[in-house]
A and B are shown apart, each in its own frame.
Chain A
Amino acid sequence: MSQDKTAEITVTQALNRALDDAMAADSTVLVLGEDVADAQGGGVVKITKGLSTKYGTDRVKSTPISEQAIIGAAVGAAMAGMRPVAEIMLMNFTAVCADQIFNHAAKTRFMTGGQTQVPIVIRTLGGAGRGTGGQHGDLLEAWYAHAAGLKVVAPANPADAYGLMTSCIFENDPCIFIEHIGVLGAKGPAPQAGHRVPLGRGAVSQEGRDVTVISYARQANEALIAARKLAEEGVSVEVIDLRSIAPLDWDTVLSSVAKTRRAVIVHEAVKPHGVGAEISARINEELFGQLKAPVQRLGAPYSPIPFSKPLETAFIPAAPQIEAAIRKVLG
C-alpha cells in the first residue's frame, strides 16, 4: 500500500481528502446532501468541509431535508453521466429514501439490460454510543447487502477510508459507504493521493494461526485489541477486516478459516439475520468437515439501540466480548 509514513490523519480527514482529490481529478464528481456546503457548515461531521468553497455550489449542493429527492437527484444525474456523492446524514434516514435505493439505484443497470448505469456513492453515518437512542445510530448494511446490485463498504482506518471512497466514486455501480461514527476519529498513516482499495477485497489486518476473526468498521479495530491481548497468552489470532460487505471477499475468508479451522464473526448490527449469518453459513457450507469448533457469531442484541448509558454500552460488541468468543472457539 502506498502511504506517506510521515503524516497521520483521521478517517474524517481521509474522507475529506478523497472527495477533494476526486473532485479535482474529475469535473463530473458532484456532492449533494443536507448541510454539505460550507455556508451550512460543511456537513454534519465536517467531511465535506471546504469543498463548496473550492469547487462551487453548483457541484457541492446543500439540499432541502428531502431524502427521496436527494437520492433521486443523484440517480438521475448519474444516469446522465455524472458521479454524484450523496450524503444521507444518518443510516436510519436511508429508510426514508429506501425506494430510490432499492428499486432504482440497485436495479437500474439490470432492468435496462445494461443500457444505463448508476455510479453513485451514498455516504451515511451509523454506529451506537453517542447517546442518540434508537433512531440515529443503526447499522443497516444487511439490508443493502441483500439488495442485488448495490456495493456496500465500511472502512475502519484512514487509508482504507480514502482508498474505498476513491474506488466507490470511480466505480460504475451504486455504493453504500458506511461511515461508522466510532472510527471517524481513528488515526493512521495518510495515503498518497489517488490511492484506491479495490471493492470486494478484504484485508488481513493481523496474521495468525489459531483462530480467524472476521469483522469490519469499529469491530475490526476492536478485534485487533482483543487479538493483541490474547497474543500475550500465546494465542495467535488472524484478523480479517472485510472493508467490503458486498461483494464480500470469500477467498480471503475461506482460505483463512481453512488455515485456522476456527472462526469468530463480529459486527455491531443486531445479530439475527445479520451479515454474520451469511458468513457463518458459507463457512459451514464450504469448510464444515475441517472446523475444529462451531463458528461463533457476535452482534448487537435483538433490540433497538437503547439510550441509557449502561444499556447502550452493553449493546455494542467490543474487545472483551470478542476475546470471550475467541476463548470459546479455542475450547
Chain B
Amino acid sequence: MLTNDRPDGKTLLEIYRRAALIIACDNHVRAVIRAGRIAAPFYSPRGQEIISAAVSVNLTDQDYVITIYRGLHDQLAKGVPLKLLFAELAGRNTGTCKGKGGPMHITHPETGVMVTTGVVGSGMPIANGFAWASQIKKDGRVTVCNFGDGASNIGAFHESLNMASVWKLPVIFVCQNNLYAEHTAYSIGTSVARIADRAASYSMPGVQVNGNDPSAMWSAAHDAVERARRGEGPTLIEAKTFRFNGHNLGDSQEYMPKAELEAAIAADPVPRLRQRLIDEGVATAAQLDALETALKTEVEEAAQFAFDSPFPDLAEIRRDVYEQEVPA
C-alpha cells in the first residue's frame, strides 16, 4: 500500500515545529489548570503529537479536520491560532467559540477545524458529510477524522466506514491507537489485534503505522490524502501511539502497568525527531533551542491574552441557540 514517498528535511522540520508547539501549549495548559486558573477537564495529547503534525503537513487550510476531546494536538497542528485557542480554553469571549464551546469543543473554520466532539465515535458520521459536500462541489478538499482506539468499537465507526466506502468519499479515518480506551486496555475491549484490519470489512485500505515515527506517519497520511484527492475513496489509518498523561488530567493511571508508561515516555518521539534533525543536518541544536524558546514565549503570550480577555456577556446564553436570538 505504501509508496516510497518520504518527507524531506524541510517537511520533517515543520513536523517538529508543530510537535514542539503542541508540547509547549500542553505543558502550559496543564500548569494553568493545576494552578486553578482554568476549571475544566483536560485530556492531554502528550505523546501523540507526531501523528497530528505529520498528518497536517499534508493538508491545506481548506481541508477539513474533525477531532475529539483529546484534540489539542490536532487543532494546533492544523493551525488554529494559539491566542484564540487559549482564550477558548479559558472560557473568554475572545475564544474561537466566544467561550461557549470550551476545551472539548474547538471549532475554527478558517483553518478547517470544523468539529471537536466530546462524544466518543460521533465525529465519523459528520466527517462523511463534509466529504460528501466536497464530492458534490468537486472542491478538491479532503476530510481527516481523528478518533481513538475505543471509538472503533462504537456502532457509528462501522456505519461511517461502510457509508464512506459505498459512496467513495474523500475522507481519511485516523485512529490514534494509544492502547487505552478511557481506563480499559486495548485487548480487554477490542476483538481484533489490528484496528487497521477492520478496513477489510468495508473494502477500503487499512494501514497500520507507527504514529510516533514521523516518516512512516507522513507517508501513510500522504498516500491516503492523495488517494482521497484522486477520488479513489476513503482510507483507515491506525496510528500506534501512547498517551503520557492518562485519560484526563489528574488520572492516577492505576489501571496501567507502570513499566508500560515508563517505556513509552522513555521512547518519547519528539526528542528523537529533534536529535534526528540535528544528526541529518536539517537544523542545529542552537536553531532548535531558539525555536522552542520562541514557541514557549508565544504560548505564554497567548495565555496572557486569554486571561486578560473578558468573559462573555451573559446575553450570550440566548445567542446562537437559533440563528435569531432567543427572547429573554
Contacts and interface: CB of A to CB of B under 8 A. Distances in A.
Given A58-B136, A79-B130, A115 B162 contact: no
A148 B167 CA distance: 32
Nearest to A174: B322
B125 A71 contact: yes
B117 A104 contact: yes
A68 B166 contact: no
A289 interface: no
A173 B323 contact: yes
A331 interface: no
Given A69-B163, A73-B132, A148-B321, A100 B125 contact: yes
Contacts of B319: 114
B52 interface: no
Interface string B99-130: 11100010111000011011100101111111
A113 B101 contact: yes
A113 B320 contact: yes
A74 interface: yes
Interface residues of A, number: 45
Nearest to B108: A115
Contacts of B101: 111-113
A81 B210 CA distance: 36
B153 to A, nearest CB: 14
A72 B321 contact: no
B122 A78 contact: no
Interface in A172-209: 172-173
Contacts of A137: none
Interface residues of B, number: 47
Contacts, number: 151
Chain A CB count within 10 A is highest, among B128, B135, B159, for: B159
Given A69-B159, A79-B130, A116-B107, A59 B97 contact: no
Contacts of B143: 76
Interface in B150-171: 155-156, 159-160, 162-163, 166-167
B122 A104 contact: yes
Nearest to B64: A80
Chain A CB count within 10 A is highest, among B129, B130, B155, for: B129
Contact of A76 (B100, B118, B132): B132
B294 interface: no
A101 to B, nearest CB: 11
Interface string A113-137: 1111100000000000000000000
A149 to B, nearest CB: 5
A76 B127 contact: yes
Contacts of A67: 159
A267 to B, nearest CB: 23
Contacts of A113: 95-101, 107, 320
A66 interface: yes
Chain A CB count within 10 A is highest, among B115, B118, B125, B167, for: B125
A66 B162 contact: yes
Contacts of B156: 68-69, 72, 99
B134 interface: yes
B100 A111 contact: yes
A72 B322 contact: no
B248 to A, nearest CB: 19
Contacts of B95: 113
Contacts of A70: 125
Interface in A90-104: 99-100, 103-104
B109 A73 contact: no
Contacts of A310: none
A313 interface: no
B320 A64 contact: no
A205 to B, nearest CB: 25
B133 interface: yes
Contacts of A72: 122, 124-129, 156, 160
Contacts of B320: 109-110, 112-114
B131 interface: yes
A77 interface: yes
Interface of B: 64, 95-101, 105, 107-109, 114-115, 117-119, 122, 124-137, 143, 155-156, 159-160, 162-163, 166-167, 319-323, 326
Given A61-B167, A76-B128, A151-B322, 17 more contacts: A68-B159, A69-B128, A69-B156, A72-B124, A72-B156, A73-B125, A76-B115, A76-B129, A76-B131, A77-B129, A79-B115, A80-B129, A104-B122, A104-B126, A114-B98, A115-B96, A116-B114
